[in-house]
Structure 1
């Protein structure tokens, strides 16, 4: 126990009941002032622990009492025992070491510190400051059960949960699986009933929706069939109107084509007559031209011949007979050229008349 300050710790109690009581109350007041007994710092126990660490004597009856109680309520829970001396001079150090070991184990969900009841002298180790502070420092929830109802210790005051005996600690640290199974069964039955009710209601609602959908589809099918029939009737009317209109227009077109063909044939006949008459007139004109041309050519030729004959006679009287002949040949060439030009002019004139 600490006499003054946190760094000076006594691991024994003075001789004499009055001195022990005074030291105990002084330490209780100090720890209470630090808030170690406050309710808001106490951790809740897990509802379904998988592994419980038990700090107790491995040879005492507390071990078996706790095992029987815990497994009677939760047969599947794992119990991990950490042996410790729970009374005597070395008890405080042994309990602190076991607490630290159990708190470091990540698999431990709850730590239970317990022993069987005994006289006040055998329980003083659970009032020693190192034990009390080690319990307060644990991150794992702790249950302390170190005596009977009249044996109150500082370890119980700082613990997260207190039990009177090891048997009671087994009840505090474990769930009542039979009760839980009954509750689970009740919940399952309620869920089954609720599920059946909900499913039945949902099925009824779904059936109603399906019936409504079927009715809607039937109506839509009827409407669609009526539209198809109206479309068929309209198509028939259009075909009839088209056939009638097309026939009338084709007849009119045939009449117009027949009339146009007749007009074309008449025009062709008229044109043929006109062409034949023109060709007759052109033929007569050609004959007249030919005759006039022949008469003109004959006259011109006779005149030229007379001139040539006169020139020839003149040339013969010339002393240079050869030059006269050469000039006569040139005159003939000129005459031939003139005759060619005259024929070409007549041909062009006749083509213009055609």
Structure 2
């Protein structure tokens, strides 16, 4: 199948000629990633999800496509635009949230932290290897009792001569058990700081969280840090306080705006194809008014969601994006995507609870996507603060 054929054949939800809004380079990248997902992810995702398996063998293939740290410049990174990064994220999440999450943790979190806040030595040591898929990174911010409120983290880094010594626990840390490097955020006497921690450092232990009902083709871990001793140069020199990790979280939140719509689109396509072939009362489900209403409602929200993602991406590329607009996109598109996936499942009937079809798998994954990088409640309060000028977080 050619990339040109992919443009139209797999976009039955497009009612607005969305591709006309994209440049030739953006379409080319989008179609390359779409072809990759069709060939490498979709034939295997049901088994990976069922077995709770993250396919490490796919990492070099993603690197070859330039997907790792793709929005960063230099150090072997592709230097793609925000819109190109978003388009790639939508295609990856059409395959599965777990595979897009890998690209997000690697590029938007771990690599972005080093790229934005690291020393030149840290950048040279880690970024080329991470862009090439030769090293995997993770991002240790959240804790068992510090999720939406990272300022309450208890992980602490103390000075011991020229060294730093870290103690604490991190939870829901993607990729930690397979990573070679971790960016760990910790309290210090001088405020919250970030540390580049090789995972082979004594005292660093990562344990996968199992079993899970969501994000099964992905890895999330609890990290124990017990007297982890690091040299002075392990600290990220450019990050003091929560602005450091938040600058990375906003990169990841931006990717979710696109990714959630990719999952919704894929669920819609499964439901539409099923409705066109499933016969009930001597005609296909697609011939019934209630089914058509469901399909139309889903398609409308998918089109609106992609338009919102593109608008936010264009503003990000232009340097005019407000942080509250990232919250707007993340809140809206996650909320609509999970509703679309659940509605798509209803068209599939009982067959929709099997892994032969994608909607319920996507809906389960989106429970996690809706929660991480800021819950609905957190983003609602960010937008409420923007509208009223009154912070209501406490």
Tell me which interval the TM-score lies in, with the shorter structure as reference length.
under 0.3
Normalising by structure 1, we get a TM-score of 0.17
